[in-house]
Amino acid sequence: MKHGILVAWRKHYCILTLWLGVLIATAASPVNAASDDPDTGSAPTLLVMGDSLSAAYNIEREAGWVALLEARLPDDATVVNASISGETTSGGAQRIDDLLRQHAPDIVLLELGGNDGLRGLPPQQMQRNLASMIEASQAADAEVLLLGIDIPPNYGEAYREAFTNVYHALADEYDVALVPFLLEGVATEDNLMQDDGIHPTAEAQPIILDTVWEALYDTLLPN
């Protein structure tokens, strides 16, 4: 009888000891990594919606300005490059809702419109598409950086002016940060442009990054 009681007591003692160990371990461990580090969760997620200028066309992807941007940001920042060569504002407007839901970005960089201009599409259509992307981004609590582009002079001064004015009008209407010309200091330098005269070389990418960085750091990134 005493032996049975002793065995039972030992069994309950072992179970009690096990439960105490679990409780102590639970109390000593954070529920998740964020609770142990007050800065966790503050690092931004950036979504880049662009065309071939942001998709590292005809150069190594690691050499593109978006990859260079990711390397310059803190290690815990996230950069999602959703750029597609040949993309128009219409295509971007169709894709952005899914991307916003999937990645929940803090900052959206919109670099679209160049292919609209090269195809001679109406600037009003481009403006509507970009406006819808800005509105969707702001509705998702994301800040927006609009990256403007220019088109060659042979498209005519009137069309070219209407095209570039779209970016300024949107920046004013929606109070978003603007880089007026993404290829500033690059487009007019033959040695920084590929043979097609449209796409920048790998050597031009750090210059493009500096142009983007100035607007991004001064207006959107936490200091």
Look up the CATH number of the domain holding residue 85: 3.40.50.1110
Per-residue pLDDT at 76: 93
* Residue 84 and residue 151 in one domain: yes
74 or 32: which carries more pLDDT confidence?
Answer: 74
What's the rounded Cα separation, in Å, for the pair 219 and 158?
31
- Longest Cα pair distance anywhere in the chain, in angstroms? 105
Is 52 considered catalytic here?
yes
In sequence order, what are the residues at sequence separation of 6 or more whose Cβ sits closer than 8 angstroms to the Cβ of residue 50? Answer: 66, 81, 82, 83, 87, 109, 110, 111, 112, 147
What's the rounded Cα separation, in Å, for the pair 166 and 124?
8
Per-residue pLDDT at 4: 44
* Residue 26 and residue 42 in one domain: no
Residue 207 φ/ψ region, left for φ over 0, alpha for ψ in the -120 to 50 degree band, beta for the rest? alpha
The Cβ of residue 209 has, within 10 Å, a number of other Cβ atoms equal to 19
What's the rounded Cα separation, in Å, for the pair 117 and 164?
10
Q: Which of 37, 54, 196, 218 is catalytic?
A: 196
* Residue 44 and residue 70 in one domain: yes
* Residue 135 and residue 212 in one domain: yes
Q: Which of 51, 52, 116, 137 is catalytic?
A: 52
Is 199 considered catalytic here?
yes
Domain that holds residue 67: 37-219
In this model, does residue 114 exceed pLDDT 80?
yes
* Residue 17 and residue 100 in one domain: no
* Residue 25 and residue 73 in one domain: no
Per-residue pLDDT at 1: 43
Question: Mean pLDDT across the stretch 127-150?
Answer: 98
* Residue 95 and residue 198 in one domain: yes
Is 54 considered catalytic here?
no
In this model, does residue 28 exceed pLDDT 70?
no
pLDDT digits 0-9 by tens, 161-192? 999 999 999 999 999 999 999 999 999 999 99
In this model, does residue 84 exceed pLDDT 90?
yes
Q: Do the beta carbons of residue 187 and residue 150 sit within 8 Å?
A: yes
* Residue 80 and residue 118 in one domain: yes
Per-residue pLDDT at 146: 98
Q: How many domains does the chain have?
A: 2
